Structure 1
Amino acid sequence: MLSFSRRHSSLLATTACLFLASCGADDVASPGAGSIGVVINQPAPTPTPTGTPTPTALTAAQFATATTQGGVTITADEQLAIVNAGANNNLNGFGSTLNGVYPVSGTSLTTASNPQTVLGNTSFIQNTSFVGALSGPNDNAFSGWTCSSTTAAFLNSAQCGAVPSIGSYAAATSVCPTGLIDDGTFTPSGAANPSYRYCRLPGVISADLSLPKIAGVVYRFRGQTEVGVDGTSNVTLTIAPGVVLAADASESSNDLLLVNRGSKLNAVGTADAPIVFTAQQNLVNNGVSDATQGLWGGVILLGRAPTAVCATGTGPNDAGGTSTTCQQAIEGVTGRFYGGTNQTDSSGTLQYVQIRYTGIAISEGNELQGLTLGGVGSGTTIDHVQSHNSSDDGVEIFGGTVNLKYFVVTGADDDGFDVDNGWRGFMQFIIAAQKAGGSTADSFATEIDSNGSEDLLPRTYGRYANFTFIQTTSAPSAIRLRGGADFAFVNGVVKTPAGQTCVNMIASNQVNGAAATGNDRSTIRPANSALQDVGPPTFNSVYFQCQGR
């Protein structure tokens, strides 16, 4: 803060003897009347307030990245025009508007729209009067059930690196439930008593199984742990609030939990007692850090809702997803399939769940994420879930019709929300806050795709409402939209660092894999009901703060 001081001058008046003789100098001539010079130091003027500077409007090239694919380009000017065609968008956000993922004030960053009206959904989508996932600095919707890190801090939430709440071990009560394997206890170095007991899940859960919260018990899983057998046994794994599950770090296999088609995972925590899926290293103090990732393979749910991309010899599918043969193998494992005809299929419920330190690359383009959803239907409930520090995507959705609400991705090494293969659904109150550095070069807050097959059916169709995307990595943009996918965005906040645009739209010129006649440009062409295409993407009430402004 600048401070100003004034100087004050005092003048000392001296009285001269007019009659020098009386002063003892009567023979000296008088100097005459004369004058005394006075210097006044004026105070510095107070600067005139200039107010908040008005930012210069971004150019189209600063706002959007143009990418050529198969000789087809959507120019930056065209992308800018598509966004400008919407209502209440602010393309020139500027200044200190966010504190991490929270707005610094309770005033909406741009005028909100009614997402129910814009998206045509009143059963899943809630009406809101603000943009972004959070309404202001004191919004507690993400408090407690999340964990905090340098990537994003949430009100009243514990640190992700802290040991989850296991409870005090007692030999008489910390025992394994029936159906689990007693893997012994863990005693820290120098300690006299154990800290907890490991109770291991069987490799294949072939009958309904419940995991209650028992003080001092950690449920451990080793290798590829499966719930049910596709086409043979449909079972339910039920997990109580506050339960901690840990991937086994004592051997080298890729640890993961996979729920096969027809089976269910009911993991229902509470805001005060979330269920935590993590790695064994996270069970000791300082066992992990904000840089830790890729310690296990994550959670995979496979369902019987339609997919657009079918395994060789099983397709094609149609707009209604009615093919009885179309199915596809899920990434990251061998011989496990998703897909079917049941759009309302249920793979269970995930509520108030954290999934920490996941992601394994089996091979290029064949990765395990924090949460992988393959052909999961709209009968599945997924809300209040956090995917933290995945070495690949936070969540990837392959086909299906599942909806997400209150979903947080923090510290992902690749994309936050990756959707493709004909997923058709809604998301609301979602956050993607990427790791500060070291991620892959094409890590987007959201990547929207159709696996390079522009007009396979069902067409990828998604609707995002109340989203906050904090892009921190070296990807070209925060939002990548390609593959002929149909998308709408309403009530969002998008922030990117210097050198990064906010939007990247890509199109190809093909229909069902063959070259189309003329300049088809699938992602932005007019609506075409014959192709289940509703037209170019739409943006309403989105606040864009691009290029680190």
Structure 2
Amino acid sequence: MVSFSRRSKMLLTSSAALLLASCGADDVASPGAGSIPITINQPAPTPTPTGPATPTPLTAAQFALATAVNGVSITADEQVALVNAGQNNNLQGFGTTLNGVYPVSGTSLATASNPQTVLGNSSFLQNTSFVGALSGPNDNAFSGWTCNSSSATFLNSSACTAVPSVGSGGSAAACPTGTIDDGLVQTFRACRLPAVISADLTLPKIAGVLYRFRGLTEVGVDGGAAATLTIQPGVVLAADSTETSNDVVLVNRGSKINAVGTADAPIIFTAQQNLASNGVSDSSQGLWGGVILLGKAPTAVCATGTGPNTADGTSAGAAAPCQQQIEGVSGRLYGGTDAADSSGTMQYVQIRYTGIAISEGNELQGLTLGGTGSGTTIDHVQSHNSADDGIEIFGGATNLRYFVVTGADDDGFDVDNGWRGFMQFIIAAQKAGGSTADSFATEIDSNNAEDLLPRTYGRYANFTFIQTNSAPAAIRLRGGADFAFVNGIVKTQSGAACLNVIAGAGSGDTRTTIRPADSALQDVGPPTFNSIYFQCQGR
């Protein structure tokens, strides 16, 4: 039997002969026996995509900055070892992973850990499946109640430079009881707050009305009359720019602020310049002092004649409980023995264009917490373009959630003096340039007093730190403070390390910031890092 393949060849040969004959090719010479040569030009092979090249791994000295204090230092290699002792950390991040503060995809940049388990808190902290403050490009947790600038933009938020929504009808509006009619500012009715709010006062949202404050505006009197300042959603408060005093809103110990806005109607503290179109720019800062809350929770640094404090915050055996004067204002004290003390609530609040350096180490921030207790509620708050820190916390036990610092001239989150608390869903997006040389996304310390009690012990979960200026590092941890970090993103520009861990006392294994746990010193041991994505040196 003739095979199918062979039959096919025979038919093809006959067909070819008939085709040649029909073309008048009967007289074409036969090439003779053998095959007819056929040349086939093969296309060039398509290169296999290789993707972006992996950069050279960072050295320890590029990842971590070593700083000597009092002749004591923690090497870059030792700092890398601290991070490597944790789980799910990536020290070699690179490429296009973020669009501003948002991840470019919904896939977590590192394997997340459960903050409740790692940090031992299930009442305040939420379990998350992602690292950083945002889960992906469409996360709307920071939408609307924030404002946008070159430091960071958020979904569905308006520009920080835009005139806040005061409303129309100011010429006919009346100031509520307890405030002073200051006439018109632009087209708005200015209702000024008294210098001392000695009784409960409510600031309602009235179309066309803004609330103005001038100089030091105090809520309550420390040791005297207590008061609560209640601010309704959508209210705008503006510092008076017609005089030169440092405009500050300060809540004294024993009194409270109840500033509760909404995502659609945040409460805005700003400068009077912000009330005019083009009155402020993206670089405006330091136009007024800021907001200060003082409480009766323990602090570690004590004024002369008070303290020293003890680990339980009672100053047991001392002539007087530990207290201290707050920075930026003369004679106003914070501290006490009530860790659960409440200075009120701030929710869905913006604080714009603050910060004044009165002297070296004596500054006003966007928001200052002095000895505020765990009963104080701070969440969904933005501090924008402070000329100093976005927020500074002196002692106390207040927890923070959904807190944004944009465009700070100095540190984003500055904690010290024995603060013991938690923060989750926090963002620090530093300004692009012009900031101080030692500005960090977070600065954690105890003012070089290594063993004061209570010992500083902070815990950050789901944080995004974007260090866009020329600071030496994003995270500075020093002064014998204890800390734990989980589910974070840290990104720095070229020339900036990610980490700077410092000890100012001890030697070898007894160096204060990294020594083993010691309950007698209220020391929980070296800092811990879990599920942190580090993208350092502009990679």
Residue 288 of structure 1 is aligned with which of 274, 280, 288?
A: 280
Name the CA shift for 1:465/1:252 in 2 (closer, same or farther; >3 Å).
same
How far did 1:474 drift? 1.4
Distance 1:353 1:210 in 2: 16
The question of whether the paired residues in 2 share the 8 Å contact of 1:408 and 1:431 is answered with yes
**Shift of residue 520, structure 1, vs aligned partner:** 2.6
List 4+ stretches of structure 1 deviating above 3 A.
Answer: 38-45
Q: Distance in 2 between matches of 1:293 and 1:109?
A: 33
2:525 to 510, 513, 535: 535
Whether contact under 8 Å (1:508, 1:520) holds in the other structure is: no
Aligned to 1:476: 472
Q: Which residue of 1 aligns with 2:436?
A: 440
Which residue number in structure 1 is paired with residue 6 of structure 2? none
Counterparts of 1:248 and 1:186, CA distance in 2: 10
3-state DSSP class of the match of 2:439? coil
* Structure 2 counterpart of 1:239, from 220, 227, 231: 231
The answer on 1:385 being equivalent to 2:381 is yes
**CA offset digits 1:286-336 (Å, max 9, x no partner):** 000110000000000000000000001111000000025210000001000
- Aligned residue runs from structure 1 range 376-455, under 5 A: 376-455=372-451
**Shift of the alpha carbon at 1:54?**
2.8
Matched to 1:242, the amino acid is G
Aligned residue among 257, 266, 277 for 1:274: 266
Aligned partner of residue 117 in structure 1, secondary structure = helix
Compute the displacement of 1:48 (Å).
2.3
1:367 paired with 2:363, answer yes
Aligned equivalents of 2:531 and 2:59: distance in 1? 20
Structure 2 Cα separation of the partners of residues 40 and 542 of structure 1: 56
Paired residues of 2:61 and 2:77 also in contact (CA < 8 A): yes
What SS does structure 2 have at the residue aligned with 1:301?
Answer: strand
SS in structure 2 opposite 1:523? coil
* Residues 496-536 of structure 1 deviation map (CA, whole Å, 9 limit, x = unaligned): 001111000000225xxxxxx87631000001111000100
Structure 2 distance, partners of 1:457, 1:537, is 18
Match of 1:494 among 480, 490, 495: 490
Match for residue 34 of structure 2? none
Q: Post-superposition shift, 1:57?
A: 2.1
- Taking the TM superposition and a 5 Å limit, the aligned residue runs for 1:65-464 are 65-172=65-172, 174-187=173-186, 195-323=187-315, 324-464=320-460
- State the 1:202 CA deviation: 0.4
In structure 1, distance between residues paired with 2:170 and 2:265: 21
Task: Determine if the alignment matches structure 1 residue 520 to structure 2 residue 516.
Answer: no
Secondary structure at the counterpart of residue 57 of structure 1: coil
CA distance in 1, matches of 2:114, 2:509: 35
How far apart are residue 473 of structure 1 and its match? 1.4
| 2:510 counterpart SS class | coil
The corresponding residue for 2:503 is: 507
Q: Does 471-480 or 419-428 show the bigger shift?
A: 471-480
**CA shift digits 1:6-28 (9 cap, x unpaired):** xxxxxxxxxxxxxxxxxxxxxxx
Q: Distance in 1 between matches of 2:504 and 2:357?
A: 28
Following the alignment from structure 1 to structure 2, what is the Cα–Cα distance between the partners of residues 115 and 249? Answer: 44
Equivalent-residue separation in structure 2 for 1:410 and 1:185 (angstroms): 31
* Alpha carbons 2:170, 2:209 under 8 Å: kept: no
Q: Contact 2:389/2:413 (CA < 8 Å) preserved in 1?
A: yes
Whole-angstrom CA distance in 1 between matches of 2:52 and 2:301: 51
CA displacement at 1:476 relative to structure 2? 1.0
Amino acid at match of 1:456: L
**Number of aligned residues:** 498
> Partners of 1:289 and 1:39 in 2: how far apart?
71
For 1:514, the equivalent position in structure 2 comes to none
The residue type paired with residue 137 of structure 2 is P
Runs of 5+ consecutive residues of structure 2 not aligned to the other structure: 1-37
Percent identity over paired residues = 81
CA distance in 2, matches of 1:42, 1:334: 85
The amino acid across from 2:482 in the alignment is D
CA contact (8 A) 2:171 2:188 kept: no
Q: What's the TM-score, normalizing by structure 2?
A: 0.91
State the SS of the aligned residue for 1:77. Answer: helix
Distance in 2, Cα, partners of 1:509 & 1:519: 11
CA distance in 2, matches of 1:305, 1:157: 35
Give the equivalent residue in structure 2 for 1:27: none
Letter paired with 2:158: A
Q: Which residue of structure 2 aligns with residue 53 of structure 1?
A: 53
Equivalents in 2 of 1:452, 1:312: separation in Å? 18
Q: Distance in 1 between matches of 2:183 and 2:439?
A: 41
Paired residues of 1:509 and 1:519 also in contact (CA < 8 A): no
Native 8 Å contact 1:444 1:478 kept in 2: yes
Q: Is the 8 A contact 1:109 1:131 kept in 2?
A: yes
* Structure 2 Cα separation of the partners of residues 395 and 186 of structure 1: 29
Q: Which of 462, 467, 489 is residue 466 of structure 1 equivalent to? A: 462
Question: 1:183, 1:200 within 8 Å by CA — same for their partners in 2?
Answer: yes
CA distance in 2, matches of 1:294, 1:138: 33
The whole-number CA distance in structure 2 between the counterparts of 1:237 and 1:367 is 24
Contact 2:509 2:515 in 1 (8 A): no
Question: RMSD of the alignment, in Å?
Answer: 1.4
